[in-house]
């Protein structure tokens, strides 16, 4: 059993994103007291594509046609050692 923060760390997302997946029905969870708990198997069954926010095709390139830099990934990498 994983709490929302534990599940979020496991998939590298914000806990609020995991809560949104629960509200939208993308992730199965139970309430224990005031907390949602998630079975590890249910988290593993979640499609990894759900972990990443996909941009619309028009947003994937800059005005000059170059690939859009992944700023979120760059910030994650800089914070990984903290």
Bridge partners of 9, per DSSP, are: none
The domain total for the chain is 1
Q: Which domain holds residue 30?
A: 2-79
Q: How far apart are the C-alpha atoms of 60 and 70, rounded to whole Å?
A: 9
- Please state the φ and ψ torsions of residue 33, each to the nearest 5 degrees: 65, -120
pLDDT of residue 34: 93
Average confidence (pLDDT) over 50-75: 81
Domain of residue 47, CATH code? 1.10.1660
For 54-66, what is each residue's pLDDT tens digit?
667 788 889 999 9
């Amino acid at each position: 059993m994983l709490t929302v923060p534990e599940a979020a760390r496991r998939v590298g997302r914000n806990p609020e994103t995991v809560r949104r997946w629960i509200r939208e029905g993308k992730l199965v969870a139970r309430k224990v007291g005031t907390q949602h708990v998630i079975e590890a198997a249910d988290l593993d069954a979640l499609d990894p594509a759900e972990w990443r926010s996909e941009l619309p095709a028009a947003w994937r390139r800059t005005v000059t046609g170059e690939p859009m830099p992944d700023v979120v990934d760059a910030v994650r990498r800089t914070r990984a050692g903290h």
